[in-house]
Structures are given as structure tokens and as C-alpha cells.
Structure 1
Amino acid sequence: MSKGLFWLVLSVFLNAFGNALTVKAALGSAPWTAAGINISHAAGITVGNALIIMGIFTLIADDFLRHRWNGIKDVFNFLYMLSFGYLIDFWLFIMQAIHVNGGLFRLVACVSGVLCIACALSIYFKVNLVLHPFDDLLKILREKYLHGNVVRAQRISLGIPLTLGLSIGLFRHNLIGINLGTAISFLCMGYFILFFDRVIHLHLNREAMIWHWPHWVHRIKHSKA
């Protein structure tokens, strides 16, 4: 369990860093982050808080699509979502003094950010302890509604924030966060994750990583049965 938690923490730090780097490069971010940037500018809140707000609505939508509350797993997914949002704000605060100027430098920073996200997701999916509500949405669509079709599930799940970000940007006549980096992330993220899957080898004891719920959780589950 401790080894799995180490890799989980590392992945969320790396994921947040990659997203913050794409925001700093201002050359387009992943669809969910791009939507968060537009909400951030429209509502006057931080990008991390915008992602948390979207995460809460997505968590509710996940349970609605699942037709049931996901129990204690929803609590851990919510905590993971909070950590991710606050860490993005943390990295953006650290990067305040850094100026990313010049087209080539911005492109390198943007692609590096996308690669960091892909690496983090590869680790995160291998550990498989919690799911961000955004990723849970993809899983539910794929398994429950689209008969395992991951391509259609990805397009629908990422099309939601992309549409939201475009709508807010066009309404305000100030479209931000959606650019080349968004296209790279949308089209190539799966291939990047597969690359890191081959490069990164985690030897995790799956049985040792099963959550051992407290006795009161088991009592609640049995009482509902």
C-alpha cells in the first residue's frame, strides 16, 4: 500500500505540474484545464478552484450515470480532486516569476507539459487506487454506455469541457486556453500514455494495495443490504 501511495502522490504532483506548465505556456491546455482557464477568467477565481467546481459537478454526474452513489470511493475521489486542483494553483504560484516568451520556447513548454501529464496518467492508471471524477466519467461512459469503445468515450468525455470552454470564450469574445496544445492533448494523449506504459514499469503488489475499510464502513454497507 505504501508503495502505491508514493506513486499516486508522485503522479498527482507531476500531473498538476504538467497542466500548470501548459497554462504558463499559453499555447493551449488539455480540454478540462482549458475549460477551467475560461471559467477562471470569467468568474475571477483560480484555475484550480475552477477545476474543483467542475469536478464536483462531474462527481455528481458520475453517480447519476452510474445510478447509484459510489460509497466511500466517492470520498477518496473527491479528496484526490481537491488535491489536484490545489496543486495546480500551487505550481502556478511557483511559476509566477517564470516568463515563457518566444514561439519555440512556448511550444517546448507546452509539449513538455502534455508529456508530463501523459507520464503522470500512465503511473496513475497503473496504481489504480482512486479516480478523478473526470476519469471516472470516461470509465462509466466506456463500460456502461458505449460497450467498451474507449475512443467514443474519450471524445464524448473530453468534448464536454471543450464545448464548455469554447462557449464561455466565444460568449466573452476572449477565447483562451484552447489552442495547439489542446489539439495535441486531444489527439495524441492516448499514444503518449501508451509510450510511457512501455517505458515505466511499476512492480506493485495488487493484493497489498486493496483498501482495508474500517469496521464502521462494513457495518454501514451491511445495514444497507
Structure 2
Amino acid sequence: MYIVRNEEQMAKGLFWLCMSVFLNAFGNALTVKAALGSAPWTAAGINISNATGLTVGNALIILGLITLIADDLLRRRWNGIKDIFNFLYMLSFGYLIDFWLFLMQSVDVNGWFLRTVACVFGVLCIAAALSIYFRVNLVLHPFDDLLKILRENYLHGNVVLAQRISLGIPLTVGLSIGLFRHHLLGINLGTAVSFLCMGYFILFFDRFIHLHLDQKALSQRHLPHWGHRVKHSKA
């Protein structure tokens, strides 16, 4: 009976994880389509995409791979099977953003009002997805793992400073590429809203979306699990 319950909880956890990555990718794609600024890592991906001709999703995958390597260097060890799961999650996230952007090609988002609504709705979708993703707590995107490592290994638990540093990196990348090319993309209203308000939005969805998951049962399965939840801070 206990094993059956564990299996049920794992199935629920995987379902919610899939829902969160679909919703997260959709929200990010919507902010890209609205062209009023995206979350910092996505903004960096947009500027890399514009400079290289890569898709936004592929640019984010490259950024994620670099960050994954940096995470292990900062951790001073390879994270084993957890790195593999994190890489697969990162890959799925990047490809899903491209999938949603492909579906949105024929959709016109014109005018400041409509673009603002689309941008804010996209940020809310991201917040809802992150609320689910952090509570399921089966994998970590390398971007989130970077914040966790900085917070726990270098900044004595200071999540605010860890967030500023981890989000400052993609902002610097995006700004540098945009200013060098005299064509700054992806850093605007949506970036400010994401940076300043994402944590509050996530807390709201924590109360609004009920997952009914048994974390103890999930922690005993094969997917990687970290002892406590990462603070609300996704880019």
C-alpha cells in the first residue's frame, strides 16, 4: 500500500512538472511575442538570438549549458544524475519556448494596451509555473541551481543578494549585446515586472494552486530531490 502511494505521488509530481514546464515556456514565449520585455534570462536569450540567428530556445539552451558547467565549477564537483535530469529539463524548456513561438507566428499582438496585457499575462503564467515547479521540487533548471549554490555556498543564505547576482548575469549579457549592436531587445516593462514582482506573484499562486503532493513520498523516488525548497527567484 505504501509503495502504491509513492507511485501515485510520483505520477502526480511528474504530471505537475510537465504542466509547469509547458506553462513556463508559454509565458516566456508570450512575453517575447509582446516585445515589452522578458524575464532576465529570456531577455539575454533574445539578444543572443538576434545577434547569432539562433532561435530563442536554442540560445537559452546554450546559456543553460554554460550555466550548468558553471554550477558544477562553483560546487567544485559534478552533480551526477541530478545534472542529467537538470539538463533534460533545460532542454525541454528551450524547445518548448520555440514550439510556442512557432504556434504564435500568425498571432498579431499590436498596440500598447494589447502588448501590455500579453506581457503581464505572460509574467503571471511564468509565476504560476514556478510556483508549481518549486513545490514539486524534482529537478532544477541550471539557472535556479546557480541561485541555490550562490545562496548556500557563498552568500551565507542571503537569497536577495543571490538573486541579484544570478539575475544580474543575464541582464549584463543582454545589455552588453544590445548596446554593442545598438539594438537592445527583451529588456523593458516585462523585465522590470519580473525582477521586482515575481516573488510576490509566486507567493500568490502558492496559495491559489493546490497540488496535494506528499513531499516525503516524492523524496524517496529516483529523481533528484533537494532537502528544502529553493526560494522564489526564477529569472
User: Which TM-score applies when normalising by structure 1?
Assistant: 0.93
CA distance in 1, matches of 2:217, 2:204: 27
CA distance in 2, matches of 1:109, 1:96: 15
Matched, 1:141 2:162: no
CA distance in 2, matches of 1:27, 1:206: 37
Q: 1:107 aligns with which of 116, 131, 144?
A: 116
1:172 match: 181
Letter paired with 1:74: D
Alpha-carbon displacement from aligned partner over 1:109-166 (angstroms, at most 9, x marks no partner): 0000000000000000000000000000011111111111111111100000000000
1:162 match: 171
Matched, 1:191 2:200: yes
CA distance in 2, matches of 1:212, 1:145: 29
Q: 1:52 aligns with which of 41, 53, 61?
A: 61
CA distance in 1, matches of 2:216, 2:35: 43
Q: Tell me how far 1:31 sits from its aligned partner.
A: 0.2
CA distance in 2, matches of 1:143, 1:65: 11
Large movers: runs of 4+ above 2 Å:
210-214
Letter paired with 1:195: F
Q: Tell me how far 1:70 sits from its aligned partner.
A: 0.5
CA distance in 1, matches of 2:126, 2:161: 21
SS in 2 for 1:11: helix
Matched, 1:6 2:15: yes
CA distance in 2, matches of 1:92, 1:51: 14
Alpha-carbon displacement from aligned partner over 1:194-219 (angstroms, at most 9, x marks no partner): 111111122112233236449xxxxx
Structure 1 alignment gaps of length 5 or more = 215-225
Letter paired with 2:167: L
Letter paired with 1:210: S
1:34 match: 43
Matched, 1:76 2:85: yes
Identity among equivalent positions (%) equals 82
Provide the aligned length of Structure 1 versus Structure 2. 214
Matched, 1:129 2:129: no
CA distance in 1, matches of 2:83, 2:69: 9
User: Which TM-score applies when normalising by structure 2?
Assistant: 0.89
1:117 match: 126
Letter paired with 2:182: H
Alpha-carbon displacement from aligned partner over 1:60-85 (angstroms, at most 9, x marks no partner): 00001111110100000000000000
2:100 match: 91
